[in-house]
Amino acid sequence: MLAIPVVFLVTLMVFSLMHMLPGDPATVILGQEATPEAVAALRAELGLNKPLPVQYFDWLSGVLHGNLGNSLVDHTPVAQLIMERLPATIELTLGTFIVATLIAVPAGILSAVRPRSLTDYSGTLFALCGMSVPHFWLGMMLIILFAVKLGWVPASGYVPFFDDPLGNLSAMILPIIATGLRESAVLMRMMRSSLLEALQADYIRTAYAKGLKERLVILRHALKNALVPVVTTSGLVVAGLLGGLVITESIFSIPGFGKLIVDSIFNRDFVTVQGAVLVSALLIVLINLLVDILHFIIDPRIKSGKEVG
Partner 1 sequence: MSRTAADSVPTPDQTQTRRESQWEDFFRRFARNKLAVAGAVIFVFLILTAVFAPWISTHDPIYDQDYSAILQSPGHNHLLGTDDLGRDTFSRLVYGARLSLEAAVVSVGIALVIGVPIGLVCGYFRGFWDEWIVMRIVDAMQAFPSLILALAMAAVLGGGFGNAIIAIGIGFIPSFVRITRSQVMSVTNQEFVQAARAVGANDWRIMFLHVLPNSLAPILVQTTLAMASAIIAEAGLSYLGLGAKPEEPSWGSMLNVAQGYLTIDPLLAFWPGLAIFLVVLGFNLLGDGIREVLDPKLDR
Note the residues at the interface with partner 1 (CB under 8 A): 2, 5-6, 9-10, 12-13, 17, 20-22, 115, 128-129, 131-134, 136-138, 140-141, 143-144, 148, 155, 193, 196, 239-240, 242-244, 246-247, 250-251, 258, 261-262, 265-266, 270, 273, 276-277, 280-282, 284-285, 288
In angstroms, what CA-CA distances link 11 with 6, 56, 267, 274, 280? Answer: 9, 9, 23, 10, 11
Whichever of 22 and 53 has its CB closer to partner 1, that residue is: 22
Task: Rank residues 140 and 302 by Cβ distance to partner 1 and give the closer one.
Answer: 140
Q: How many CB atoms lie within 10 A of CB 112?
A: 24
Nearer to partner 1, 94 or 297 (CB): 94
- CB-wise, 180 or 258, nearer to partner 1? 258
Output 52 or 141, the one with its CB closest to partner 1: 141
Least gap, CB of 8 to partner 1 (angstroms): 8
- What is d(CA 194, CA 233) in angstroms, rounded to the nearest whole number? 11
In the complex with partner 1, which residue's Cβ is closer, 95 or 130? Answer: 130
Min dist CB 294 to partner 1, Å, is 18
Distance in Å, CB of 211 to partner 1, minimum? 26
Q: Which is nearer to partner 1, 98 or 265 (CB)?
A: 265
Query: Is 172:178 a contact under the CB 8 Å cutoff?
Result: no
Taking the complex as a whole, the smallest distance from the CB of residue 69 to partner 1 amounts, in Å, to 15
List, as one string, the DSSP characters of the chain. -THHHHHHHHHHHHHHHHHTSSS-HHHHHH-TTS-HHHHHHHHHHHTTTS-HHHHHHHHHHHHHTT---B-TTT--BHHHHHHHHHHHHHHHHHHHHHHHHHHHHHHHHHHHHSTTSHHHHHHHHHHHHHHHS-HHHHHHHHIIIIIIIS--S-SS----TTT-HHHHHHHHHHHHHHHHHHHHHHHHHHHHHHHHHHHTSHHHHHHHHTT--HHHIIIIIIHHHHHHHHHHHHHHHHHHHHHHHHHHHHHTT--SHHHHHHHHHHTT-HHHHHHHHHHHHHHHHHHHHHHHHHHHHH-HHHHTTPPP-
Residue number, 193 or 232, with CB nearest to partner 1: 193
To partner 1, the closest distance from the beta carbon of 248 in angstroms equals: 10
- Nearest approach in angstroms of CB 257 to partner 1 is 9
The CB-of-87 to partner 1 minimum distance in angstroms stands at 18
Minimum gap (Å) between residue 273 Cβ and partner 1:
6
